Amino acid sequence: AQSVAQPEDQVNVAEGNPLTVKCTYSVSGNPYLFWYVQYPNRGLQFLLKYITGDNLVKGSYGFEAEFNKSQTSFHLKKPSALVSDSALYFCAVRREGSARQLTFGSGTQLTVLP
């Protein structure tokens, strides 16, 4: 079985400040980790993924994520938040050798305050 936890339902940050959205996972075997963003009344947009290699992954719109195997975490980060980053963020996992469906976390609502 595999699972993803996003411990914070809501994250507020001031524009221009760094942001972090937390994600921890539980899988047996190698994880494949993804971040998606959802704007109101829209589908999910792919931001970035970790497959293997460098623990720091860079993605779209200036976002990056750090894979930490010992802490089973994959936190999403951005050095300087924009008001337009305000959205719902989802972390997702697949397990090597498993079926292909994504297992999603419950989502974190990010609000960037002007």
Stretch that binds other proteins, among 13-21, 31-39, 69-77, 79-87 (CB under 8 A): 31-39
The tokens describing 82, both together, are 């924009």
Stretch that binds other proteins, among 18-26, 44-52, 66-74, 79-87 (CB under 8 A): 44-52
Q: Out of 17, 18, 46, 84, name the contact with other proteins by CB under 8 A.
A: 46
Distance CA 27, CA 59 (A): 23
Please state the φ and ψ torsions of residue 84, each to the nearest 5 degrees: -70, -10
Q: Out of 104, 109, 113, 114, name the contact with other proteins by CB under 8 A.
A: 104
Is residue 98 close enough to count as binding other proteins by CB under 8 A? yes
Helix, strand, or coil (residue 97): coil
| Count of alpha carbons within 13 angstroms of residue 14, beta-carbon side | 1
Please state the φ and ψ torsions of residue 106, each to the nearest 5 degrees: -80, -10
Site residues (vs other proteins, CB under 8 A): 32, 34, 36, 41-46, 49, 51, 90, 94, 96, 98-107
